[in-house]
């Protein structure tokens, strides 16, 4: 990969990018931040303009409208999509095994390599993922 070139290894950011955990964090953050931002934007756009006009007619200021009307309504509209994106992020952590990190799926595959039993470790990993995802749903 790129670290074989000395130009890459001599930069100031090499101390960060040589760490696999940092690379996984950056990768997952960049992958999901666009989706999260679009969910927030969609929640703000879903607030009916009539309610904002009614708040302006009542004499509320811009900040009062934002904090007492728009943000609570946007949070309500965007909550389910935000939860779904968090669940997708948890599921996508299994991709970090491609950069030498051991996650739940990689640990299950390691157990499979030692025991030659694919069913038990993978079902156990699936059960752990199921518990994590169901805990995040509420």
Predicted confidence at residue 137, as pLDDT, reads 78
Q: Is 25:12 a contact under the CB 8 Å cutoff?
A: no
Q: Which two tokens stand for residue 83?
A: 């939860």
Q: Which two tokens stand for residue 109?
A: 């595959």
Predicted confidence at residue 41, as pLDDT, reads 96
Q: Is 22:16 a contact under the CB 8 Å cutoff?
A: yes
Predicted confidence at residue 96, as pLDDT, reads 84
> Per-residue confidence of the chain (138 residues) as pLDDT tens digits?
667 778 778 888 788 878 888 888 988 999 999 999 999 999 999 999 999 999 999 999 999 999 999 999 999 999 999 999 998 988 888 888 887 788 888 899 999 999 999 999 999 999 999 998 889 877
The whole-angstrom separation of Cα 131 and Cα 70 is 34
């Amino acid at each position: 990969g790129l670290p074989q070139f000395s130009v890459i290894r001599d930069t100031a950011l090499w101390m960060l990018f040589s760490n696999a955990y940092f690379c996984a964090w950056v990768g997952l953050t960049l992958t999901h931040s666009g989706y999260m931002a679009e969910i927030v934007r969609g929640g703000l756009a879903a607030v009916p303009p009539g309610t904002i006009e009614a708040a302006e007619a009542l004499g509320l200021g811009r900040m009062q409208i934002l904090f007492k009307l728009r943000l609570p309504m946007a949070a309500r509209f965007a909550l389910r999509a935000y939860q779904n994106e968090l669940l997708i992020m948890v599921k996508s952590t299994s991709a970090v095994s491609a950069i030498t990190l051991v996650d739940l799926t990689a640990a299950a595959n390691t157990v499979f390599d030692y025991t030659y039993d694919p069913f038990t470790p993978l079902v156990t990993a699936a059960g752990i993922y199921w518990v994590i995802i169901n805990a995040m749903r509420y």
